[in-house]
Amino acid sequence: MTAAERRLRLYLVSRAKLLGRAVRLTGDGSIAEDLLQDAWLRFDAAAAGQAQRETLPYLRTVVDNLSRDWRRRRSVQSSLFADNADTPPVDVPSLDPSPESQAIARDELRALAALFETMPVRMRRAVEMHRIEGATLTQIAERLSVSVTTAHGLVAEGVARCRSALRQPK
């Protein structure tokens, strides 16, 4: 008798007891049948060429592990998915801005664009470099050929004007 035949015979002789064990662990006969088939495939693949793995305790361990894994998966799935089909799905907020938020943002952008047109050129450029381009005050001072203190004043005054324009009622 070949090793593969001995493994198959061991499985067939032990199948009823293994099935009973799997049913006790899962509580479901059809799931136990599926797990037992999977256990046989794993047992046979792992035991091929290894005489020490052709034992009933190893096959029981495979059944036990597959049953535990199945219970863990079921537990996680039941916590993630509602069993009651009548329960409405949970509303998940959209990451997209609402139409109202989009309209408000467009209005604020128009107000800022109009304000930028009335700002002194150096102030507008200092605010653009600082807030849009991410330039430091030192870099702004170098590009505008002013002191760092003056660059800070230009940015601070420009941002204050922007805030003021956005707070004013339309």
Task: Look at residue 98 in the predicted model and tell me its pLDDT.
Answer: 84
Instruction: Summarize pLDDT for 108-163 with one digit per residue, the tens.
Output: 899 889 999 999 999 999 999 999 899 999 999 999 999 999 999 999 999 999 99
Ramachandran class of 145: left when φ > 0, alpha when ψ lies in -120 to 50, beta otherwise = left
Residues in contact with 78: Cβ distance below 8 Å, sequence separation at least 6, in sequence order: none
Residue type present at position 86: D
Q: Stretch 43-63: mean pLDDT, rounded?
A: 74
pLDDT of residue 88: 59
Map out the domains of the chain with their CATH numbers: 3-78 (no CATH), 99-167 (1.10.10.10)
pLDDT at 7 over 70: yes
